[in-house]
Amino acid sequence: MLLLLRFMNIKPTTPPATPDSPASPKAETRLGWQIAVTTLSRLTVNTARRFAYPFAPAISQGLGVPAFAITSLIALNQATGLLGLFFGPFGDRLGYRRMMLAGLAALAVGMLAGGFIPVYIAIAAAFLLAGLGKSIYDPAIQAFVGRRVPYARRGWAIGIIELSWAGSSLVGIPAIGLLIHHVGWRAPFFLLGALGVAGFIAVAVLLPSDKKPDGTVSEPLGLFSAWKTLMRERRALGAVVYAFLLSAAYDNFFVVYGLWLEDAFGLGVTAIGMATVIIGAAEFLGEGLTATIADRLGLLKSILSGLTLSIIAFLSLPFVGNHLVFGLVFIFFLFLSLEFAIVSSISLFTEFFPGKRATMMAAFFAGAGLGRVLGAMIGFPIWAFSGAVGIALVSASIIAGSMGALGWGIRGWTPGSVRRD
């Protein structure tokens, strides 16, 4: 890791705080409330995006349609992730708060429509708008934090916000399950729609306006101008390739981990579901570690530490054998290290282009989405050809490649060397 740091020629300097960084206890308190509100709102967004996966049978039975009709809606929901490519530049131009409000509005309208109009086309629109809301909200919230929180505390803020991802599987999805069991399949749509409205109001009240003293917002770049400018920069290309490769390595294993658990340990569906809870706990801890130690360790060192531990974890997979305890420990530490690296990466990348933060984060999420597609495509063939050994070697090799892409992208770059907010 030290050799890679030397290769990147990164200087250990800390940039000055942004002009609108908190400087008083009152401002600190206000920032804390803003982080809390945006995190809870993102918990709603993530839960709305994910709850169709485990509860597709209940929704299909409620609508009286085949199960594959709901899985088609899940695919439509996922496809909206690429739309972030279009909304990122709008966030830089129109303001991050406005885009967060637009994302929450899309979520609220979609969920309430699905609850009040229990027909297939309305449910399709609900999941489409939920996915669209996340594609609008996520780059905007990351960019907002990048602008409002000093770089020295960026890992803390991003780590807190990213707790909403693990929280959706540990809290949101189980709550939805209880609601469906006791009230009915339409109840989650009403609840998530109401929470979307509450989040919209809270963000509108508590978050400051994006307008500058002259009454404008960020740079008046058009969609294509923003992307053309960004993609000319080596660190942007390196970040996108890094996200693509890391996500491919992640999904290369994730799409077959259920098969591995069944094959190695003879686990049934219920036990595999419990393993998923372990993954959620590991992700939660990884996000918490980012919030607590990444800033002190350094964001780049945190990323490299997480990636290195992920490679070691993957290389240990063939030695797990048929020992269930070892297998569960492997899963926990693998997803802990991956999540620590991913969230630390998000924290670092919010500093790459201060004038185009939302565009940069949209590019990051789009690269990660395409990487997940590749990982899902290659996982099953690799498993069929070479089993756990092949999966481990391929994922470890791809992560090593992601480290190289990151090093190439940020070689010679100093955090805080560009300040355009």
Q: Can you spell out the DSSP letters for 216-260?
A: --S----HHHHHHHHTTSHHHHHHHHHHHHHHHHHHHHHTTHHHH
Region 101-127: mean pLDDT is 94
Predicted local distance difference test score (pLDDT) of residue 256: 84
Q: How many CA atoms lie within 13 A of 240 on its CB side?
A: 18
Average pLDDT, the chain: 84
Q: Structure pTM?
A: 0.82
Predicted local distance difference test score (pLDDT) of residue 19: 42
Rounded Cα gap, residues 49 and 161, in angstroms: 16
Which CATH number among 1.10.510.10, 3.40.50.300, 1.10.645.10, 1.20.1250.20 corresponds to the domain 221-421? Answer: 1.20.1250.20
Predicted local distance difference test score (pLDDT) of residue 220: 46
Asked if 327 contacts 378 with a C-beta cutoff of 8 angstroms, the reply is no
> Where is pLDDT greater, at 343 or 81?
343
Closest C-alpha to 346, from 42, 63, 44: 42
Region 259-269: mean pLDDT is 77
Amino acid identity at 8: M
- CATH number for the domain whose boundaries are 21-218: 1.20.1250.20
Rounded Cα gap, residues 392 and 136, in angstroms: 34
Element at 190 (helix H, strand E)? helix 187-206
Asked if domains 21-218 and 221-421 share a fold, the reply is yes
Predicted local distance difference test score (pLDDT) of residue 65: 86
Domain boundaries defined on the chain = 21-218, 221-421
Predicted local distance difference test score (pLDDT) of residue 44: 96
Structure tokens at 328: 């569960």
Q: Which residues contact 15 (CB under 8 A, 6 or more apart)?
A: 150, 151, 351, 415, 416, 417, 419
Question: Helices 269-289 & 257-265, crossing angle to 10 degrees?
Answer: 120
Structure tokens at 261: 């658990």
Closest C-alpha to 91, from 141, 165, 36, 159: 141
